[in-house]
């Protein structure tokens, strides 16, 4: 099943009923994807995964911190389908603010033996340049020797040049803007939003030291 395409042009979503902390006022250019749309899409992705992994127990490997929110939705949807799975967590960061630093830090206490010989589904918030997965996957494959590895990402950014990696399960493809919310951050802010938004210049310029 193809991903849902979020078009480049604004869809004119009504954002007046959206909830967010007051300190974020003015930090968004537009509402990009609602939490209701995310939930529906997580259910559809769980259906796909269930079709492919019926009778197996894949390891759902959550890439922290960003994928946490999506992971919860996806695992609930898999539970509804009586699909068994293991849960593991891994922490990587390759972003510093808006720019890919080119550096990948892997941590979070994942023990390679926990995924050895197992079918692994990496759960990601976003595939942007694909840099993270392009660098992470070879390490995982050679160090942990899983039986198989696929990636399930909530978002995939449409870029001018082809990404380094494309995921098997993709929730939405999105325009080339910096997006925040539903786990996705900008300098550790905005993970606490229920919906996904495009950040505004005011959000980018915001001085966190003014907050308590």
Interacting residues toward ligand HPA by CB under 6 A: 95, 126, 128, 178-180, 184
User: Where do runs of H (alpha helix) occur along the chain?
Assistant: 35-53, 68-80, 131-144, 201-205
Residue 178 site contact among Mg ion, ligand HPA, none (CB < 5 to 8 Å, cut-off depends on kind): ligand HPA
Q: How far is the CB of 179 from Mg ion (least distance, A)?
A: 11
Number of neighbours of residue 78 by Cβ within 10 angstroms: 23
The entry of Mg ion, ligand HPA, none near residue 127 (CB within 5 to 8 angstroms by kind) is none
Active site residue 185: no
* Minimum CB distance to ligand HPA, residue 4 (Å): 17
- SS3 state of residue 71: helix
CA-closest candidate to residue 186, choices 24, 35, 68, 30: 24
Q: Of all residues in this chain, which one has the CB nearest to ligand HPA in the complex?
A: 128
Per the CB < 8 A criterion, the answer to whether 126 and 70 are in contact is no
Nearer to ligand HPA, 28 or 85 (CB): 28
Distance of CA 179 to the CA centre of its chain: 11
**Toward Mg ion, which CB reaches closer, 16 or 99?**
99
Q: Is the bond leading into 202 cis (omega within 30 degrees of zero)?
A: no
Binding site for Mg ion (CB under 5 A): 95, 185
Select 95 or 206, whichever has its Cβ closest to Mg ion: 95
Catalytic residues: 128
């Amino acid at each position: 099943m193809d991903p849902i395409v979020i078009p480049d042009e604004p869809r004119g979503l009504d954002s007046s009923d959206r909830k967010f902390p007051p300190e974020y006022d003015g930090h968004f250019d537009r509402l990009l994807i609602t939490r209701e749309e995310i939930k529906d899409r997580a259910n559809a992705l769980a259906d796909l995964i269930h079709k492919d992994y019926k009778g197996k127990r894949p390891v759902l490997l959550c890439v922290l911190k960003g994928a946490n929110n999506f992971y919860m939705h996806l695992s609930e949807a898999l539970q509804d389908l009586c699909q068994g799975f293991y849960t593991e967590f891994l922490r990587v960061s390759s972003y510093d603010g808006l720019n890919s630093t080119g550096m990948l830090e892997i941590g979070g206490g994942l023990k390679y033996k926990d995924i050895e010989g197992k079918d692994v589904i990496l759960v990601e918030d976003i595939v942007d340049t694909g840099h993270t997965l392009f660098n992470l996957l070879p390490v995982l494959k050679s160090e942990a020797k899983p039986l198989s590895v696929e990636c399930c990402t909530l978002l995939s950014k449409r870029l001018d040049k082809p990404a380094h990696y494309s995921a098997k399960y993709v929730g939405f493809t999105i325009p080339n803007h910096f997006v925040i919310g539903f786990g996705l951050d900008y300098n550790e802010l905005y993970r606490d939003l229920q919906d996904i938004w495009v950040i505004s210049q005011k959000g980018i310029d915001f001085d966190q030291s003014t907050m308590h």
